[in-house]
Chain A
């Protein structure tokens, strides 16, 4: 086994780990981005509310409050540089009567203390003018103009791609099984890799406490809290705003929101669970989501549901984000316990981690040729006719539509594979192939053929999302059995 030297090993390739890797790639550092899964964005980063929160509901003075509000500010620049969709459509917390209205006032106060700009309480009619689908029973709303929607897995992938472009090494399929504290460095064993890292950033999501235990740090635990969602087809609704109901102690409550792709969704539930990998959806939750979503927007067409899914939040036992060096060994820096508003805070967390590393003695010297730009996979469906003609001219595979529901071409799928997609879901997250109404019924076998061809691996070896998620169990006929 070859041992490789790194300045920083970032454990966890969710949005936080990838944002950190990207931030660190500005500097003259050797950085590794490590994940147990076969791809980036395989945990909560691909199954969450996709909202860049304004930051009015965090307790003032917490890391959550500060990093959410600052993260929200950073989003414009990050999304512009990384070419990730961001729509500042604004969010509404809606009230159904006096008790809820009191809660709105409370949230307004918190938000003002946190420095959230532009917050105001508006009447039910004003809210309905902003969002015509809103229930007639809504009596008032807290409007937060800085609330935005983005695409969380595209943000994660974009950070990871940009980090790689600037020299960060990806190590996927590499579960971290041991971290030895030696004098020269932390020795990290991750799958087939063995790294000598001056610093380790623990951004391991729901598994961050287990990674902390590898150096004997027991200062916190991560409690998995499941959030289930229902995704609706584009034709089911056209929402203008993100609509929250008033929060409970379990979280921000059930919301309905458009996505940057024009779909809409309802969720999340908040269920404390024992198993960190439990992303099952229960029928009781689907019923509950339906009921609550219709309370906010009675005209939502729930027959337009195309899928339901769940993500697991990493709830920290401390009640706040854990962003500090370990007291057992300060060479491990925690970016842990990043539950909601983790997506919103990710760019700010990345800056915070960089400054902690500097305080801990890592010299941060800017690279002269850092390239902040990341080009997206050019989406055929968003091109004008002239652009489409030119694209096909340049690459004929743009002329072959593979995913009919989302109009995704073979060129886009090939490019996704070139950028690191290794599975059906990896292609789906990068291109949207299989994300539409037929959920891959038509394009699944075709995407598999392309994966098999481009990666030069047999169809039977292909997976849905890595590991043992094999799609096929074998062939119906042996090749040339009878000559």
Chain B
């Protein structure tokens, strides 16, 4: 907008809403219908996961509600108690729809909690490295580089081979796999930001290092971090499913989507596709919606692509 002469400005300035960064961000985000669809689906999935026990036709892990006679029914079949298995049932007579609702809870729970933990660790390390500089930074980033040069699945495999199985061990493995991504991202942006003058100014004002680090440096490192975090949640969910499928992930007592799919593997070859198929679709839809949102976030938050 042109800066107008004061007396003239009052009458001629158009009454447009003030463009706050948040408004601009929201408007940019909403530009892509695909991303909006992703966001809606994602919110729906999170909602389902949160209220799974209240909306599932049956509690798939209450053995009293299962009837082995209802095992391996195709989608749409009627169960003995009279309700319909919309997505079929597995070998135990478990309603796949309910299984998926509960599975989403576990998959999302493991994915999000590992991402949050990894973010906390990676952010602290990355910020500290960028701030400390010198040998400390060199060492920390060397560790990050080495860790990142190994594929996630290999690191997870090593850890689980050493640690053994269990929900917390899987989360520990996922955190180990992810933290370095955050550390690298934070350190990269923090380095750029650090050189800017406002940090210099904050230091000249005599603010404590801690305050400068977390109140001044951190907020400016957030945009790329948000993008990485979104993508990492999707990665964590996919990796957990993969590990569970391979039989080295979550225990049978925490039936995530990966375990449901593994469960149906043996029936697949005899044409009973639904046991593996539908949990896979749920997993896919979850990951796709997160990635769609993440993709748009990346475009919106990337200063290089802003025109």
Report whether chain A binds chain B.
no
